[in-house]
Amino acid sequence: IAEIWAGDLLPDVALPVAEESVMSARAESESVALRFGLPNVQVSQVRDMFDKYARQGDRNFKETLTKAETLSLLTEDCGFLLEEDQAAELFGELVENEEEVKISEILSLYGTLEQNDNGISIV
């Protein structure tokens, strides 16, 4: 995974730490999307779904999702058919901390499922 430095995003612009962190995570996710050859439309859809789970009632935005939220995003929102043992194997390979899944890791999971042609159910 590529590294993103603060100066790579918006040089000489002061941003709140939370906003800078979100921008950095999104930039890192771009690198993952390129690695898997995901088109922009798919990346945008996954980001929108991530945002749905990450937005909290008090207008705060969390940077990671739990494993349960991630599985819901991949199966219910994206329509992937994923057995429990497949999920455990994928998370073991691609996710550093199952209770703090980053957008870049979700895109890695998505890209892997897409490449493996893991049946998509029409939702």
pLDDT of residue 12: 52
Each residue's pLDDT tens digit, 23-37:
777 778 888 888 888
Closest CA to 25 of 62, 52, 72, 59: 62
Each residue's pLDDT tens digit, 59-82:
677 888 999 999 999 999 988 988
d(CA 31, CA 3): 9
